[in-house]
Structure 1
Amino acid sequence: MRGKSSATLIVTANVLAGCNTHQSTLAPFGVDAADIRHLFIIMLVGAVVIAGGVALLMRHAVRAPEGSIDHRKGMRIVLWLGGIIPTIVLLALLAYSLPYMKPRPASPADLTIAVDGEQFWWRVAYAPPGRAPILSANEIRIPTGRTVAFRLSGGDVVHSFWIPGLAGKMDMIPGRINSLVVRAEKPGRYRGQCAEFCGLSHALMAFDVIAMPPAAFDAWLAEQARPARPSDDPGARLFAANGCSGCHGIAGVTAPSRIGPDLTHFGSRRTLAAGILPMTTANVAKFIRHPEKTKPGVRMPSFPQLSDDEGVALARYLQGLK
């Protein structure tokens, strides 16, 4: 009995662990994810009905007296229950689901967000109509009630862009751009994830998704368009002396870079290392000195030559970029 109780508790705990509102298709904040949940429920009900019918048929077959069904009657049952009825049910489900598969239309006036999957982080560029792109990384903000078009590509290997509560998965393929048009309806902070194995730290490649009211999003985007100010902070000097600008760009301070994440507004992000660590000074300093300890296979070089104090000074400078 104890073994059965323990097994029941373990199964229940695992099931409950999958019930969340920040990364679940069953807790949608976007129109497309709500459609996916609706189809899931319809398919689930259909599967339960079919399974129940098969169970009743099995029960009848087991309890029926021997010889009660002749060959002709048995073949008729097989034809209807094994062929005709399943075909009708599947065709009905297909016809019902086809309208949900139609891509959401986008217009030139809609916001476009280009996202490139890298090992193991996300390059993000907002392209408001008629304005210069605004660079970011590892965090995506979208306005509620507006259509947003994602332009998705893989920078090195195949990745898969998935925000469960917003829409379905979309592969990110090097040399090709795939489009995913979405519409968020509920503000909040959610989570996205790479859904295609892409290397050693595939499971450590996540990102925050913040759905904001339109006015708040417009104000935030305008703030993100402002460049950083040059500084004589000790951390800024360490940033320059250690060649960080060779991989990372800070608008208003260094030239843009296509190698590592843009750091212009690094301090305004809630997480570090693509959604893996909280944005604290200790975590930033640790990641700068030994990024491979957090993300095996990461392409960022380590900086063990930095002392603890220098790592903290550099981290505080980067956290001040808001």
Structure 2
Amino acid sequence: MTRVALTLALTALGGCAGRPAALDPAGPQAARIAGFWSLLLAVSIAVSVLVLAVLLDALARRRGGSLPPPPAVDPRLERRLTFGVAAAVVLTAVLLLFLFVASLRTARALNALGEPDALTVEVTGHQWWWEVEYWDSAPARRVRTANEIHVPVGRPVLVKTRSADVIHSLWAPRLAGKKDLLPQHATSLWMQADRPGMFDGQCAEFCGHQHAHMRLTVVAEAPEAFQTWLAHQRTPAAEPTEPALLHGREVFLAGPCALCHTIAGTTAAARLGPDLTHLASRTTLAAGTLPNDLGALAAWLVDPQSVKPGVHMPPAALPPRDFQALVAYLGSLR
């Protein structure tokens, strides 16, 4: 009995995590979803209380351990029962219709955030990371990054989504609802942050071994700070001046890293893996699996399979001097 109680207590405590919190909305889309959830909860509680009251009343009327003999047919009692059943059916139909209309209004509101000055962001799901591209009519001004979506506070954002392999689902619970990312099929959702902060997101559709390690961060900042960040992301990687960093760049370009990754300002322009032009400016590595520091970066490069088994990235089998230079170079890409 103690084990059962402990299991139930741990299960209940597992739902008390502070982040991500769908019931602590930070934007209008998430607020509408949280409001509809609260409405469903209130109706469910009211119906449950009513049903339990009827059951308890029936139990209280039953005396002793056996049922009394059936009474003689009473037309008045029969009419009352018929009226009660009819009222219950009508009430159920009204409640279902009310919730149906409320759900339609909520769904319509989730797709009604668009404005002429909306920011457009294209998000592509990969196993197991997020490719993020800021669209611009001039291709040279487009920005490509990974695992972080920067947005200006108070501005609607149209997130166009697709998958490069299997079905994924983008979910930043404090900002918007879930949206499935489908191979060869475009989908989209609207989101908006009403206050600055860092909001957790996650793939919400099982997509393989490392589904649990496919996280992302939405960074909401003041419009001026966002424009500064965006302008910096458009710049190529800084030219290294220290000998160790120059050597690290040579190691990167001469090895297998350049076959999958891009570093703007160098000859590395592959798009199989995340863009590394400003890698060190991000908060995490490996789609939220590791903190972004030199120690975690070295651990990720030397044996990625020990961090995310099944990930499509080979280990960096390099001599110690080359490896240290590579880590230092990647850690300088701000």
**For the residues of structure 1 that align with 2:319 and 2:293, how far apart are their CA atoms?**
18
2:27 alignment counterpart: 30
**For the residues of structure 2 that align with 1:15 and 1:261, how far apart are their CA atoms?**
33
| 1:302-321 residue CA offsets vs partner (Å, 9 max, x unmatched) | 22x22455333212211111
**For the residues of structure 1 that align with 2:39 and 2:320, how far apart are their CA atoms?**
57
Moved more, 183-192 or 224-233: 224-233
Equivalent residue in structure 1 for 2:91, among 45, 70, 85? 85
3-state SS, counterpart of residue 233 of structure 1: helix
| 1:202-237 residue CA offsets vs partner (Å, 9 max, x unmatched) | 111001111111111111111111111343622112
**For the residues of structure 1 that align with 2:114 and 2:277, how far apart are their CA atoms?**
29
Q: 1:30 Cα shift?
A: 1.4
For 1:117-196, list aligned pairs within 5 A.
117-128=125-136, 132-196=141-205
**For the residues of structure 2 that align with 1:74 and 1:257, how far apart are their CA atoms?**
74
CA contact (8 A) 2:214 2:288 kept: yes
1:40 aligns with 2:53: no
2:226 alignment counterpart: 217
| 1:74-114 residue CA offsets vs partner (Å, 9 max, x unmatched) | 44433322x21111011112223322211124355421111
Larger radius of gyration: 2
Moved more, 251-260 or 146-155: 251-260
The alignment covers a number of residue pairs equal to 317
1:276 alignment counterpart: 289
Q: 1:3 Cα shift?
A: 5.9
Equivalent residue in structure 1 for 2:120, among 65, 88, 112? 112
Change (3 A) 1:306 1:181: same
2:15 alignment counterpart: 15
Aligned Cα RMSD in Å? 2.2
1:262 aligns with 2:289: no
CA contact (8 A) 2:253 2:268 kept: no
Q: Which amino acid aligns with 2:271?
A: R
**For the residues of structure 2 that align with 1:74 and 1:307, how far apart are their CA atoms?**
86
1:312 alignment counterpart: 324
1:97 alignment counterpart: 103
Q: 1:292 Cα shift?
A: 1.2
1:229 aligns with 2:204: no
Q: Which amino acid aligns with 1:306?
A: L
**For the residues of structure 2 that align with 1:175 and 1:275, how far apart are their CA atoms?**
26
CA contact (8 A) 2:161 2:186 kept: yes
CA contact (8 A) 2:253 2:267 kept: no
**For the residues of structure 1 that align with 2:216 and 2:176, how far apart are their CA atoms?**
15
Moved more, 103-112 or 239-248: 103-112
**For the residues of structure 1 that align with 2:251 and 2:43, how far apart are their CA atoms?**
62
| 1:259-296 residue CA offsets vs partner (Å, 9 max, x unmatched) | 11000100100100001100121211121121111111
CA contact (8 A) 1:117 1:154 kept: yes
Q: 1:10 Cα shift?
A: 2.7
**For the residues of structure 2 that align with 1:129 and 1:165, how far apart are their CA atoms?**
30
* TM-score normalised by length of structure 1: 0.91
Structure 1 residue runs without a partner (length 5+) = none
2:65 alignment counterpart: none
3-state SS, counterpart of residue 208 of structure 2: coil
For 1:241-256, list aligned pairs within 5 A.
241-256=254-269
Change (3 A) 1:177 1:4: closer
| 1:171-204 residue CA offsets vs partner (Å, 9 max, x unmatched) | 1011111111221101101111001111110111
Equivalent residue in structure 1 for 2:253, among 225, 240, 245? 240
